[in-house]
Amino acid sequence: MSGNIETTRKKIKVCVIGAGAAGLCAIRHLSNDLISFEPAVFEQSEVIGGTWVYSEKTQADIGHPIHSSIYKNLRTNLPLQLMNFPDFQRMDQTEPSCGTHEQVLKYLLDYADHFNLCQFIQFNMKVINVEPILKEEDWRKTEWKVTIKNLKTDLVEENNFDAVLICNGHYSEPKIPKISGIETFSGNVMHSHDYRSPEKYSGKTVIILGAGPSGIDIGIEITGFATHVYLSHNGPRFSSALPPNMTEITRVKFVNGNEFHLTDATTVIADDLLYCTGYNFSFLFLDETCHIKVDNDHVNMLFNHLINIKHPKMAFVGIPFKVIPFPMFHIQVQYFLQLLKGQVTLPSLEVMIEDSKVKTKKTHALEAFQWEYNDYLADAAGIDRLPKFYKIGYSEWSVKRTENLLRYKYSKIEIIDDQTVKISI
Ligand code: FAD
């Protein structure tokens, strides 16, 4: 499958699905080259911002799914300065380094305004089906039939595109583990997707399953109201101090009434249960002929966590996690656009399939590998690498977080120059 996408004088019609941070980043770069590209962006809601559009209401209140999983008092788990897109460094607050969700939404609105992006977006338009129209055997000639439903009028329309950029977000469909006996528990059970504020846990003993960013942050927030919070996980114990009414426990093996039996053979009694167990990747709008399958937290088959191997004129922005998302979007989008313009050469099909093989359940969790990944894409696309302060800041930041889970969000971060970042708690 090696080769370039042929450059023709015809504009490349690109469909972008979603207008969150990833979709906005896609439009920013597409609209920077309107000689080559003709973008059309479909956003199911009435506004831009995706995850960062806070909704006080949950599905239980309004009867239909809510996209955002943001809660009322959320502070970012990265310093705002490291969340900036490299070409729009506007979040420069230094203390506390982690901002509110309102600040991030304002930043995205400013980004859209600055690059005049909203003119390309059609709102209330939900993409309900995407399928390839194969032309001969040549993947470069594949087109896409995209079916979109107007949520205001219920009218359905079909459009053809040369390429599709999927920016639908990956934190909306709760992942809930099966726990034996959970049906015998009569307390309140909720996933962090529906968590908004801590007051309802006043005087309760709460068990939280999962100690990722949400489990830790929400758990600490709830300790201000709950009698006790148990944080259940099987990772290494934290080196940081925790609130006095928070205890780490091992995983839940089975439940009997309000007794939670743990893998270390101990038992805790709890009133309420909160799943902070993450989210599933979901692409319900992809026809099976797209050849994309979600399997055990892994999106199959993608080259570089990004390009549909069977149909390379389809890309997925934002699949990797444990990364700094916005700067990575900036690189991923440009790599794909350079591929469409014939400036990136893909390896053979066999090499790409080998590359995409599931290594572990956490294959898309890049962590320390994210820098190599971003640099690889940037070099392959012939675009600027990310400035080094992202890596330096993130690495120092991770250390501060590990040392002090209670205070790290209130630290001060100074980016002195490309190579020097100062963080103080
Ligand atoms: P989203 O923001 O989810 O946007 C997807 C958009 O696609 C939405 O507008 C949606 O309506 C639209 N859409 C979906 N399906 C369709 C369809 N079929 N048709 C049309 N439109 C569709 N990141 C950080 O950098 N720092 C943080 O501190 C941070 N904290 C987080 C805290 C929480 C609780 C969560 C859930 C995430 C956090 N993130 C954080 C990650 C965050 O999700 C990313 O930063 C980023 O906002 C993801 O952008 P996105 O565009 O990929 O997805």
325 Cβ closer than 6 Å to some ligand 1 atom:
yes
Interatomic CA distance for residues 49 and 18, integer angstroms: 9
The residue whose C-alpha atom lies closest to atom 46 belonging to ligand 1 is: 21
> How confident is the model at residue 361, as a pLDDT?
67
Pairing type for strands 205-209 and 420-424 reads unpaired
CA of 368 to the centre of ligand 1 (A): 22
Rounded distance between C-alpha atoms, residue 27 and residue 117, angstroms:
6
- Residue burial 306-342, b: 16+ Cβ < 10 Å; e: rest: bbbbbbbbbbbbbbbbebbbbbbbbbbbbbbbbbbbe
Residue 197 in contact with residue 173, Cβ under 8 Å?
no
Provide the whole-model pTM.
Answer: 0.96
| Residue of 27, 51, 103 to mutate, ligand 1, most atoms within 8 A of C-beta | 51
Atom 29 (ligand 1) nearest CA: 76
How many angstroms does the Cα of residue 171 sit away from the middle of ligand 1? 6
Ligand 1 midpoint to CA 37 (Å): 24
Ligand 1 proximity of 21 Cβ (cutoff 6 Å): yes
The best mutation among 71, 81, 168 to test binding of ligand 1, ranked by most ligand atoms within 8 Å of the C-beta, falls on 168
- The protein residue whose alpha carbon is closest to atom 7 in ligand 1 is 18
Contact 260 CB / ligand 1 (< 6 Å): no
44 lines ligand 1 (CB under 6 A): yes
DSSP 317: T
Q: Please report the atom of ligand 1 found closest to the CA of residue 279.
A: 36
Average pLDDT, the chain: 95
**pLDDT for 341 beyond 90:** yes
Name the residue at shortest CA distance from atom 8 of ligand 1: 50
Tell the residue nearest (CA) to atom 23 of ligand 1: 325
Q: Is 97 in the pocket of ligand 1 (CB under 6 A)?
A: no
Query: For residue 69, how far is the Cα from the chain centroid?
Result: 11
Task: Indicate the SS3 state at residue 126.
Answer: strand
User: Tell me, what's the pLDDT at 355?
Assistant: 83
Taking Cα atoms as reference points, which of 86, 21, 83 lies closest to residue 386? 86
ipTM above 0.95, yes or no: yes
Predicted local distance difference test score (pLDDT) of residue 2: 47
pLDDT per residue as tens digits for the range 354-381: 888 866 668 899 999 999 999 999 999 9
Q: Which of 94-98, 343-347, 407-411 has the lowest mean pLDDT?
A: 94-98
Q: Which atom of ligand 1 is nearest to the CA of 317?
A: 52
State the amino acid at position 239 in one-letter form. S
Q: List pLDDT tens digits, range 183-210.
A: 999 999 999 999 999 999 999 999 999 9
> Closest ligand 1 atom, CA of 148?
19
The first and second tokens of residue 244, run together, are 């006095």
Does the beta carbon of 80 sit less than 6 angstroms from any atom of ligand 1?
A: no
- Ligand 1 proximity of 214 Cβ (cutoff 6 Å): yes
Sequence-ordered list of residues with C-beta below 8 angstroms from that of 255, at least 6 positions apart, any chain = 179, 180, 181, 182, 184, 185, 261
108 CB within 6 A, ligand 1: no
Cis peptide, bond prior to residue 301, ω within 30 of zero: yes
pLDDT digits 0-9 by tens, 298-330:
999 999 999 999 999 999 999 999 999 999 999
Query: Cα(343)–Cα(337) distance, rounded to whole angstroms?
Result: 9
Structure tokens at 312: 């390379």
Going across the sheet that includes 259-262, the strands are 252-256, 259-262, 267-269
Give tens-digit pLDDT for 292-303: 999 888 999 999
Q: Which atom of ligand 1 is nearest to 71's Cα?
A: 34
What is the percent of the chain where pLDDT is above 70?
A: 96
pLDDT at position 23 over 90: yes
Chain-centroid distance of CA 324 in Å reads 10
In this prediction, residue 135 carries a pLDDT of 78
Q: Is the pLDDT of residue 5 over 60?
A: no
**pLDDT at res. 296:** 81
424 CB neighbour count, 10 Å cutoff: 10
Reported confidence tier of residue 38, pLDDT bands at 50, 70, 90: very high
* Nearest CA owner, ligand 1 atom 27: 76
Helix axes 325-340, 21-30, angle to 10 degrees: 40
254 Cα to the center of ligand 1, angstroms = 33
Taking the CA of residue 324 as reference, the ligand 1 atom at the shortest distance is 25
Residues comprising the chain, all counted: 425
> Residue 8 to residues 27, 186, 389: CA-CA distances in angstroms?
21, 63, 38
Q: What is the DSSP string of 179-240?
A: -BTGGG--S-EEEGGG---SGGGTT-EEEEE--SHHHHHHHHHHTTTSSEEEEE-SSPPPSS
User: Is the pLDDT score of 134 beyond 90?
Assistant: no
Residue 168 has pLDDT above 70, yes or no: yes
Instruction: Calculate Rg over the CA atoms of the chain.
Output: 22
